[in-house]
Structure 1
Amino acid sequence: MLFTKMHGLGNDFIVIEDNGMDDNDYSTLASKLCHRHFGIGADGILVVKKSEIADSKMLIFNSDGSQAEMCGNGLRCYAKYLYDNNVVRKNPMTIDTLDGVKKVLIEEKNNEANKVQINMGKPILEPSVIPANFTENIINTKITADGEEFQITSMLMGVPHTIVFVEDFDNTDFEGIGKRIENSSYFPKKTNVNFVKVMNGKEFKIRTWERGAGLTLACGTGACAALVACALNNKTGKEALAHLAGGDLHIIWDDSNDVYMTGPAITVFKGESFI
């Protein structure tokens, strides 16, 4: 099986072409391919499929085998793969995901995709849609997870995201707190947990604990959700630079309620797997 290893700000993926397997088989394959010691190693796999409603359809499977609706860093890598390999040589292009069709704009350099801008869609705050066990929108809401209290803001930004604002960013227990909130009874389908340190009205730092993948170097949907949370809590404006462990993303939440993300995507290597 041929594959391409890619990453978006260190959030790494294995891209493979659809070979007709069902989702359960791709789930099993993802667990094997993504293993850091016995496989290729990645946060997830991206499956390239044909679409009847867009230029291509992307399936995402996390390293634990779970399927994700959407991933911003993955989508940038996926778009670069399509463009650079002449699978879809259109600009802009449309990509079908389990979170709907996304419009993608390519910034080209040396005849290849350099940066990718994605309309990530509109944030959804209704708890029943996230889903979350609350009756009102979750904006600066106090919760208790394993006996510890947290102030959170939650939404659906393709996938469920919860934002926790922190002051002592470098000494925050991302894994410990992330696990507790991810698996709390408030979120029946779990949630990604984003730790955000606001630097000023136009910049913030972020680390994301991803459900199904753990602590990653970057999460595109998380950065988008974080900007929305910052704006809702009057901590930044509706445009900011997100500083992730793997690099920076430019995020805009426009007046039509759409969130745009711009950032790089990198091809690391290509190969053949015998797993």
Structure 2
Amino acid sequence: MNYNDHRPGLKTRAAHFALACSGAAAVLTLGVSAVTAMPASASALASDVAQALKLRLPRTPIDAISCDKLGPWCEVVSGDTLFYIDETARYLFVGRLYDMEERRDVTAARLLELNPDLLAAGAPRAGGETQPGGDKPPAQTAAANVDLSTLPAAGAIHWGNPKGEKLVVFSDFQCGYCQRLAGELAKAKVHIEERPVSIFGAPSRKTSEAVLCAKDPVKALHAAYAGRAPATGKTCKKAKALDANEAFAKANGFNGTPVIVRARDGAVIHGYRDAATIRRFVSGAKGSAQ
């Protein structure tokens, strides 16, 4: 009688061992095993993801990783930037994460929590300008005072109180803080000359064109902020003026939205402000609005 016949399961165990060895490379490639039988704790998962990122993005400093708040995504904090990676450490994206149930820009809220002085739209952009593992482009100092005379009339949407002080607002319809600002501007009873810019890339540009070319641009503007952007159709002549808006914003270092400019003298403030602060800015108390 063969001695091995009295050792049931030996071939099975050997096969399992061979399979484990052959799968080791795949597990190392992923960085985090996606086939584990036991669910990892959030802290253990974050640790595994961190190790994988060290191998894959050695030039990117990792300040914090959280894997317990955003479903299958882990949030990664790198300096003043956020990006997201899946639990297998294979798929990474740089951009805005939205909570569809709460209708909330999760990325903007988190960035503001990490750095209250950060512009709402200073987060990683869709199609991002700052990629993990790369070098950040030098930031241009934003102008504190600008000359609005070069902007074409076609690139603006006028709304609010026509008898109020005029403010020129550079905004993106996908910017959560621009949406909040619109409500505060209405409360402040000012005249708004809103000039869309495409902070978040092609999707923002399409929405801006649709709003500007709508039969009722003001109605379309507020609908876009409410998440009901008008359907995109044929581009109208006015849409070309968006290029001038964006060129002006770039030339003056407007790297985020919203940006508010006092029309009478070109004074600039950046980011979201409440109605009371807007009124002070309108009245000329610029220092109190910074």
What range is the shorter-chain TM-score in? under 0.3
Higher relative contact order (CA 8 A, sep 6+): 1
Could you say which structure has the higher strand fraction? Answer: 1
Larger Rg: 2
TM (normalized to structure 1)? Answer: 0.27
TM (normalized to structure 2)? Answer: 0.26
Could you say which structure has the higher helix fraction? Answer: 2
